[in-house]
Amino acid sequence: MDYDLFVIGGGSGGVRCARIAAAHGARVAIAEERHWGGTCVNVGCVPKKLMVQAAEYAAWAADSHGFGWNTQPGQHDWAALMQAKDAEIKRLNGIYLKLLENSGVSWFFERATFLDPHTLQVGEQRITAEKIVIAVGGHPAWPEIEGAEFGIVSDQAFFLPEMPKRVTLVGGGYIGVEFAGIFRGLGAEIDLLYRQRLPLRGFDHDLRDALVDALQAQGVRLHPSVLLQRLEKLSDGSKRLHLTDGRTFDSDLVFFAVGRVPNTKNLGLEDAGVASTQIGAIRVDADNTTSQSHIFAIGDVSNKMNLTPVAIAEGHHLADRLFSAAPPRSWSFAAIPTAVFSVPPIATCGLSEEQAAASAPTDVYVASFTPMRHTLSGRHRRTMMKLLVDQASQRIVGAHMIGDDAAEMMQSIGVAMTAGATKADFDRTIGIHPTSAEEWVTLRTKTRTVGFK
C-alpha cells in the first residue's frame, strides 16, 4: 500500500486525524478539493462569528449613551468587513497547511474518490491505502421549490458583493437565527420564516421562547408555521417569495437556511462497499467504523453531532486507536457544550427539559433577569439561565442559557458536568459578584419538577 492512512477531506477533523496518525509513525496522506480547514474555517463558524461581532458595534454605540457617552454608530463599510474576513481566512488556511507539513503528512489539493475498498483516484493518480478515513463534511441544502436558484445558501452569504437592505431568511435553525442577528445588526430589515411554531427545533423550550422575545426586541419580523411555494425574480432585480397560504415577501435577498446534507455524492461509496443512509450520511458504529472494517467516517459526514469540536475529537480518538500503542484519550460525548451565536447568544450542555423528563424525574431551576449592563443601557435584553437536575442522583444533566457571554460561561459548565457535578457542588461554590455567571451557583429555588412519578 502507498500509505498506512489516507484521509479524504481537509477540514478540522480530517487534519487532526492525519496529524495525530503521523505523529504515531504512520505514513499518512490527505486530500482536499476546495479549501483547507473545511466549512468551519472558510464558510462557517469562523467567518460567521466575525460577522456577528461586526454587527454588535452599532448596538454598543447606542448602549453607550446610557453610560454618559454620545457615541454615534457611523456608517458601516461592508467591503472593508469582507476584506478583513478574507484576510483572516487566508491566514488560517496557511496555518492548516503548515500544520500538515510540519507533521510529515503528504497532502493533495485534489478531489479523491473510491475505485475499490483500498484504492482512490486522487486527481490524476491512483493511490492505495491500508486504512481510509472519510471526513468530507457536508454542504447547505436547497429547498425543492420553483425558482430556488434566485436565492442563496450560507456558502454564498460570506461573499456577497454588498450588504442587502431587505432580507428574507428561510429556516429557524441556528444558521437562520444567527444570520438574522448579523443582517439586522448591520441595519437590514429582516423577515425570518420557519416551519415550526418556534425557532431552534430540538433545543430546550424555555430557550426557544426566550429567543422569540430576543429576536422581536431587535425588530426581526417572525413568521412561524410557513410552507414555501415558489421564488421569483422581479424586473428590478428584487426577489418575491410565495408561500402556500398566498402571502408574499419582497426583498433584496432570499437566504435559504433549511439544513445541511453530507458531501457523499459521487464519492464512490458503492465501489468501496460503504453503506450510507437515504440522505447520504455514512453509517458508522460507536468507533466511527463503516460497513468496511478498514474505512472510517468522522465529522458531519456521519450526521451524528455536526459540530467542529466533535469532528476534531473523533479524528484524534480514531488516530490514537489505530496507530498508538497507548490507550486512546477518553472524550466525553455525553454532555457536549455548544452555542448558537444569535443576538444575544445561546449556549447549552446536556439534556433539554423534554429529554430529561422523558428519562427520569428532574428538578428544574430557572432564572430570568435583566443583566447589569442593560439596566443602564435601556436595551430590552433579558438573560435566562436554567439547570436540570436528576432528582435521584442530584447530578446536573442539563444547562441552558440565553444572554451575553453565554458561550464563554457554558464551556466551564461543560467541564463541571463532565466531571459529574451535582446541584450541591454548584450550591457550595462561591460566586463572582457582580456577574451574570454567579447566577449558576445561586439558583436555590426550584421552579418545578418534571418527569414520571
Residue 397: give its domain's CATH number: 3.30.390.30
In sequence order, the β-bridge partners of residue 350 are 398
- Residue 251 sits in the same domain as residue 158: yes
Residue 332 lies in a domain: no
Count CA within 13 A, CB hemisphere, residue 51.
Answer: 30
pLDDT of residue 453: 63
- Residue 111 sits in the same domain as residue 30: yes
Q: Which amino acid is at 438?
A: E
How far apart, in Å, are the Cα atoms of 10 and each of 40, 99, 380, 445? 11, 12, 43, 49
- Residue 289 sits in the same domain as residue 158: no
- Residue 102 sits in the same domain as residue 117: yes
CB contact set of 441 (below 8 Å; sequence gap of 6+): 426, 427, 429, 430, 431
From 272, 264, 306, select the one nearest 131 (Cα to Cα). Answer: 272
Q: How far apart (Å, rounded) are the C-alpha atoms in residues 186 and 220?
A: 12
- Residue 253 sits in the same domain as residue 158: yes
Q: Which position has the grid cell 457542588?
A: 425
DSSP letters for 194-245: -SSSSSSTTS-HHHHHHHHHHHHHHTPEEE-S--EEEEEE-TTS-EEEEETT
Q: How far apart (Å, rounded) are the C-alpha atoms in residues 386 and 406?
A: 12
How far apart, in Å, are the Cα atoms of 28 and each of 35, 103, 196, 216, 292? 19, 10, 45, 51, 19
Model pLDDT for residues 248-267, shown as the tens digit of each residue = 999 999 999 999 999 999 99
Task: Kindly compute the dihedral angle of the four CA atoms of residues 239, 241, 247, 251, in this order, to the nearest 10 degrees.
Answer: -40
Residue 42 lies in a domain: yes
pLDDT of residue 334: 84
- Residue 301 sits in the same domain as residue 387: no
* For residue 434, cis peptide bond before it (omega within 30 degrees of 0): yes
From 201, 204, 203, select the one nearest 447 (Cα to Cα). Answer: 204
Is pTM beyond 0.75 here? yes
Domain count, the chain: 3
pLDDT of residue 110: 97
Model pLDDT for residues 51-77, shown as the tens digit of each residue = 999 999 999 999 999 999 999 888 999
pLDDT of residue 275: 97
Which of 236, 258, 280 corresponds to the end of one domain?
A: 258
Q: Which amino acid is at 183?
A: F
- Residue 253 sits in the same domain as residue 266: no
- Annotated catalytic, 433? yes
How far apart, in Å, are the Cα atoms of 331 and each of 19, 179, 186? 18, 31, 39
Residue 328 lies in a domain: no
- Residue 251 sits in the same domain as residue 399: no
Terminal Cα-to-Cα distance of the chain (whole angstroms): 59
Q: What angle do CA 257, 48, 152 make, to 5 degrees?
A: 35
DSSP letters for 115-178: EETTEEEETTEEEEEEEEEE---EEE----SBTGGGSB-HHHHTT-SS--SEEEEE--SHHHHH
Q: Which position has the grid cell 457554558?
A: 410
- Residue 52 sits in the same domain as residue 115: yes
Residue 154 lies in a domain: yes
Count CA within 13 A, CB hemisphere, residue 116.
Answer: 6
Q: How far apart (Å, rounded) are the C-alpha atoms in residues 438 and 412?
A: 13
- Residue 24 sits in the same domain as residue 133: yes
Residue 329 lies in a domain: no
Residue 409 lies in a domain: yes
Residue 333 lies in a domain: no
Strand-by-strand arrangement of the 253-256 sheet: 221-223, 189-193, 166-170, 253-256
- Residue 126 sits in the same domain as residue 268: yes
Q: What is the domain extent for residue 185?
A: 148-258
Rg (CA), the chain: 24
Residue 132 lies in a domain: yes
pLDDT of residue 412: 97
Cβ atoms of residues 46 and 154 within 8 Å? no
* For residue 344, cis peptide bond before it (omega within 30 degrees of 0): yes
3-state SS assignment for residue 326: coil
Residues of the chain with pLDDT under 70: 453
pLDDT of residue 72: 87
- Residue 74 sits in the same domain as residue 212: no
Residue 37 carries which DSSP code?
B
Q: At what angle do helices 308-323 and 12-23 cross, to 10 degrees?
A: 20
Which of 299, 323, 347 corresponds to the end of one domain?
A: 323
Residue 179: give its domain's CATH number: 3.50.50.60
Q: How far apart (Å, rounded) are the C-alpha atoms in residues 95 and 10?
A: 12
Q: Which amino acid is at 247?
A: R
Which of 258, 285, 301 corresponds to the end of one domain?
A: 258
